[in-house]
Structures are given as structure tokens and as C-alpha cells.
Structure 1
Amino acid sequence: MRVEIWTDIACPWCYVGKARFDKALAAFPHRDEVEVVHRSFELDPGRAKGDVQPVITMLTRKYGMSEAQAQAGEDHLGAQAAAEGLEYRTRDRDHGNTFDMHRLLHFAKERGRQDELIQVLYRANFAEERSVFTEGDERLVELAAAAGLDAEAARAVLADPDAHADDVRADEREAARLGATGVPFFVLDRTYGVSGAQPSEVFTQALTQAWGERSPLLKPVGQGDHEDGAACGPDGCAVPQQG
């Protein structure tokens, strides 16, 4: 069975959603027969490569939030990440263009190291003090090497702006065809779709259903109490409300 996951490295709910999905997959009886493929989805495709801003500044300018609202959203996201055992810096993170990271992820897929690279990139973006946006290609080469990829080969990919660019654009077109307007977006065997960073039990349900049934394309999983999974889209990232 194949699970395709559309995500963006700049998406905090993708970071949280991956942890929740991984937890469900680890407990799934047929986990060794599940292939996970990470697909590209840029939340900010029009941003120039050198245009890097603090996350709080980006949120206030792009979505009209106050600084207090933006910071409260980051604090809520930090709490959600912590609940999944993830580190999350709620202060002083940067936001920028992720296209080169997506190109590297396609390169990593060819080398059988895609999941390792996306995990390294998530941690670098959300948990580490150093920015993934301000240090140029060498920072990404360093992270690729940390994921087990050949540094020189990764450097060559980054030096060629056409390398895997078509793969990224093809993923994004496919996301649009499938109706994905935000991420994370999970597609199981091109049969079931799960939108957002759903609780682990929803992913367990989806894996079980997709394993046992073959049905028309993209039957939604996670209705009822979990219908609206938190996600990031063109209008920003959903923020959990305090009870």
C-alpha cells in the first residue's frame, strides 16, 4: 500500500501531522508493506528565494494578524508539537521560499532517503536555532548529508535550478487535481484522503480501511468529531483554540 503525503517544510501542522501519522503507522500490523512518499506543496510559491522574514513578521503582513495574535498562534502550535514529543521554537524562527528543499526531497527519494531528509529539514526549521533560509545552499547541503545523502551530489542538485523542478511542479499540479487546498494532505492508495494533522486514531482508521478496501478515488476519512483537521493553506495555519 502506498501513502502519499503532500506537505511543505514551512508548515507547522505538517511537522505535527507527520508525527501523528508516524505513530499510527508504527502500530499498524502491515506497516512493513506500506510505502510512504512525500509530495511537494509550497504554501508561499511566489516568495523570492532571498526574501526571508521572521515568522511573526510574515504572519502579521500576510494575514493581517497583530503581533500578539501571531505569537499566540505560535505558542499554541508549540504546545501541540510538545504533546507529540516534538521540539518547537516559538520565538525567532524565519520564513522563506522552500522550493529548493522540495527539489532536494525528490533527489532524496531517488536515493531512498526521503523520509530521513524531511525529518532533518523539519527539525532544522522548527527546532534548531540556525535558519534553513539565511545561510544559502551550504546549509541545505549540510542537512542533506545529515540525512545520509552524498554532499557533493546534493550540492550539484542545488546548483542546477532545473534539477527536479519539474517533479516539484508535477506534485503541485496533482495536489490541485485531487482537490488539496492545504497541507498536510494524505492520500492512501489513491483511495482514501485525509486532510490536516488529524489525531493518530484517525490515521489508524484510514490505514485499516485503505488496507481492507478498494473504493472510488479519495473517500474522506476522519468525519464526525475530527472532520476539520488542522492544516496550513493560502489563508494561513489553523490555530487550536483554548478550551
Structure 2
Amino acid sequence: MRVEIWSDIACPWCYIGKARFEKGLAAFAHRDDVEVVHRSFELDPNRAKGDTGPVLEMLAKKYGRTLDEARGMEEHVAANARSEGLEYRTEGRDHGNTFDIHRLLHLARERGRQNELLDLAYRANFAEERSVFDDETLVVLGVEAGLDEAEVRAVLADPTAYAEAVRSDEREAAELGANGVPFFVLDRRFGISGGQPAELFTQALEQAWSSRVLQPVAVTASGAGDVPVCDVDGNCEV
């Protein structure tokens, strides 16, 4: 069974949702028969490369809040992350264009190192004092994930490398009705939107496993109440 996850490295609920999904997967009896593929979704695709800025100032401007209020929003997300055993810095982080990261994730998928690179990128962005929006940091992360340095540099130097793969993922997300991330599609039968509890992921995996007749993908969050997502306009619910 294949699980496809649309996400963006800039999305805190994708960071949290990945951890929750993995806990749900660990409790699934057929977990060794599940292939997980990470797909591209940019929350801010029109942001220019190199246009980076502090997260707190971005949040304050986007939501019309004070810096203290933005800091409170971040603390709320941080509490959710820490409840899943994830580190989360509420200050000192940058926000920027994630297109190059997505391109490298496609390279990493071809080399069998996609999950490793994604975990490192999430950690660098949310838990460490490393900006993921400059090429040298991405080179370091790629090498740490097990990729060849020369190959990583070649992809970053060529803006067309894996560009269509990223755009294809984004078009497919739109066709499936995804208007926010994280967005999970299980075996092209069921869709789940948002950073759901681990137990719901286990239940969904069991349902998808037992239902082997192809059905249209339907986004569902039944029984989970309001679930935090980052939407297509880059708004992340807290």
C-alpha cells in the first residue's frame, strides 16, 4: 500500500503531522508493506528566492498581530510539537521560498534518501539555528542525508532540475482537492487533511488496507474535530 504525503518544509503542522503519522504507522499491523512517498506543495510559491525574513515578523504582518501575539502563536505550535517529542524554536527562525528544497527532495527520492533529507530539513528549520533557504545549508543537509555533494550542487545550480516534478506534484494536489497541508492520500482510496492524532492515522490505514476496491479520493477528518493545517495562502491555523 502506498501513502502519499503532500507537505511544505515551511509548514509547522506538516512537521508535527509527519511525527503523528509515523506513530500511527508504527501501530499498524501491516506497516512493513506500506510505501511512503513525500510530495511537493509550496505554501508561498510566488516568494522570490533569497527573499527571507524572521518568522515572527512574518506572522505579525500576515495576521495583523503584535510581535508578542505572534510569539504566542508560535508558543502554541511549539507546545504541540513538543508533545510529539519534537524540538521547536519559537524565535530566531527564517521564512522563505522552498522551491529548491522540494527539488532536492525529488533527487533524494530517486536516491532512496527522501525521508532522511526531509527529517533533516524539518529539524534544521524548526529546531536548529540553520536557515534552510540558502544553497550552502541545503548542500550540507543533502550530504548529511547521504546524497552526493556534487550531485546536490548540480541540482541547485540548474533551476530546471526537478522543477517539473515539483509542479506536477502541485497540480496533482489541486486535482485531488487539497487546499492545505499536510495532506495524506492512502492507496489512492482515502484522503486525510491536517495534523491528525496518531490514532486516526492507524484507523485510516486499517480501513484503506481492508478496502482494496479503487474508490475516488475523499478528504476526510471525521471524528477529529478542528484539525490544524497550513492552507494554500500560507495561513497556518493555531
TM-score category (smaller protein): over 0.9
Residues 20 and 84, structure 1, Cα contact 8 Å, conserved in 2: yes
Residues 130 and 137, structure 2, Cα contact 8 Å, conserved in 1: no
1:207 aligns with 2:233: no
Q: Aligned residue pairs: how many?
A: 236
Residues 43 and 234, structure 2, Cα contact 8 Å, conserved in 1: no
TM-score by length of 1: 0.94
- The aligned residue for residue 135 of structure 2 is 137
Q: What are the residue-to-residue correspondences of 1:19-34 with 2, within 5 Å?
A: 19-34=19-34
Q: Secondary structure at the match of 1:230?
A: coil
The whole-number CA distance in structure 2 between the counterparts of 1:72 and 1:108 is 35
Residues 52 and 94, structure 2, Cα contact 8 Å, conserved in 1: yes
Runs of 4 or more consecutive aligned structure 1 residues displaced over 4 Å after TM superposition: none
Code of the aligned partner of 1:107: L
The CA deviation at 1:215 is 4.6
Q: Secondary structure at the match of 1:219?
A: coil
- The aligned residue for residue 101 of structure 1 is 101
Unaligned 5+ residue runs, structure 2? none
Residues 104 and 152, structure 2, Cα contact 8 Å, conserved in 1: yes
Unaligned 5+ residue runs, structure 1? none
- The aligned residue for residue 118 of structure 1 is 118
The whole-number CA distance in structure 2 between the counterparts of 1:11 and 1:235 is 8
Q: What are the residue-to-residue correspondences of 1:219-234 with 2, within 5 Å?
A: 219-224=218-223, 226-233=224-231, 234=233
Q: Secondary structure at the match of 2:112?
A: coil
TM-score by length of 2: 0.96
- The aligned residue for residue 37 of structure 1 is 37
- The aligned residue for residue 64 of structure 2 is 64
The whole-number CA distance in structure 1 between the counterparts of 2:218 and 2:102 is 27
- The aligned residue for residue 82 of structure 2 is 82
The whole-number CA distance in structure 1 between the counterparts of 2:85 and 2:203 is 22
1:183 aligns with 2:142: no
Q: Secondary structure at the match of 2:180?
A: coil
- The aligned residue for residue 171 of structure 1 is 169
1:197 aligns with 2:232: no
The CA deviation at 1:235 is 5.3
206-215 or 159-168, larger mean C-alpha shift:
206-215
Residues 188 and 214, structure 2, Cα contact 8 Å, conserved in 1: no
